[in-house]
Structure 1
Amino acid sequence: MKAVSFSPGNHCNLKLQKYPIKQPTLANPIHFDNHQNQKPSNKKHHFPSFSIKASKTPQTPLTKYPNTPPLVVVGSANADIYVEIDRLPEEGETISAKTGQTLAGGKGANQAACGAKLSYPTYFVGQVGEDAHGKLITEALKNGGVNLDCVRNLSDVPTGHAVVMLQPDGQNSIIIVGGANMSCWPEKLSDEDLEVVRKAGVVLLQREIPDLVNIQVAKLYKLGGMAMAMGLGFVDLSDIVHQGPGSSTLCGNVEYPFPD
């Protein structure tokens, strides 16, 4: 199997302080490459990603903290379609891209991959379509050590995806198709999903899935006293309160809001 790559969010900053931890040697080494701040040049552009060197057979998740309550990420999974262009097209214009690449991404999937990268027990709760993009994402997460028992595969909805138009100066424009991330979620999460959330030590949410899902998880958090954080997508928490029914309930249960 070829190496699989994740597309990171624009603000993925992992800071380990106070207690340095010696990382174990991984059967599948993970390499982080960040090219976001490079100056424009004539060299071939490499899309920002972190790569998981996958073997032909899935590896057993390697966790440094096997008895620790897991990190549970409830959120989105996207196939990020990067195209490298000299400039944005004008209205009605068709232009050619210099290169193109499809990577596993989405805020939720990226968070789960980062947790597993630190050898922490990590579960992902989300939805993908039964298509090539869904297979790309689930294989990447599985080979990265993320537990996928709570991932639903939808037969009649495509996997969420995004088109990222990347210019030479590093600026990008993004178009997102919600797909399975925003469709066909049950009105009530399954008992299995809720049990995984209930046993979590930390829960991460984002706003690339319906608020009704986030609210269920947030209410469960309130009862269990877990640490919960939610990516706001560059929107102030106070602004979200006024965005619709249930928003104030969601915000009232978020302990650690952060921009993503």
Structure 2
Amino acid sequence: MGSWRDTRIGGGVMMAWALATVPLTVVGILLAVPFLGRRRAFFTVGPFFARGMEWFCGIPFTLEGWDRLPEGIRGGRQPVIFMSNHESQMDPPVLVAALPVPAVYIAKKEVKYMPFVGWAAWAAGVIFIDRGDRDRAIRSIHDAAMQIRGGKSVVIFPEGTRSRDGQMLPFKKGGFALALEAGVPIIPLATMGGFQVLPRGSLFFRPGQYRVRVGTPVLPSEFPDRDLLLQEVRQSIETLMLEARETGV
């Protein structure tokens, strides 16, 4: 006999629960800001959303391969650029909870104006990219590179938006220009499970498992050509996704 979560009504209940939990989480973050500061408040309170989804909606998540990274990266002393495929709106909160080190997100500017989510993005220090204004986009990349060189790691979804069918979309080049300017390792990530849990356009959650697989660092200095660097990272993520599918996701 299946779980209540497997029914259409259950999917609607899970969506309603998530929609109610988002503002509660954001309010918790904002209340913590005066005591912890913006970033610390976000990375202390923010993971509770994904943990709540794990508990109530039956959406567990695991992180695989982190222990194979160099100790400086695992300890947060070496800033990096995490690059992941993008299947679902659940990907960012899952990564916030799954990654052991805090990382600034780079997102399209429209996220800034989303109810509650925009406030959480402010607390997290999200760097917004105006893709409709080339000059502003370039300035945002320079700003991000300065923050990375100052010790902050960042997360980028190089597809720029969510996939409609679970297959990776073409990568945009801005993240790779940033990597070459910042000169820090890129950590490929395969974030798997989002297309089953909450595909683009769906109004209903489905129970499922998230797996975040961590790849081998890619050094931009070894790929001075932006297109070659893009191809290397894409191939790394594709390999991680294939490995995940072969082992049961």
Report the TM-score, using the length of structure 2 for normalisation.
0.41
Q: Which structure's residues are more often strand, by fraction?
A: 1
Q: Which structure's residues are more often helix, by fraction?
A: 2
State which structure, 1 or 2, has the greater radius of gyration over its C-alpha atoms: 1
Q: Which has the higher contact order (CA 8 A, sep 6+)?
A: 2
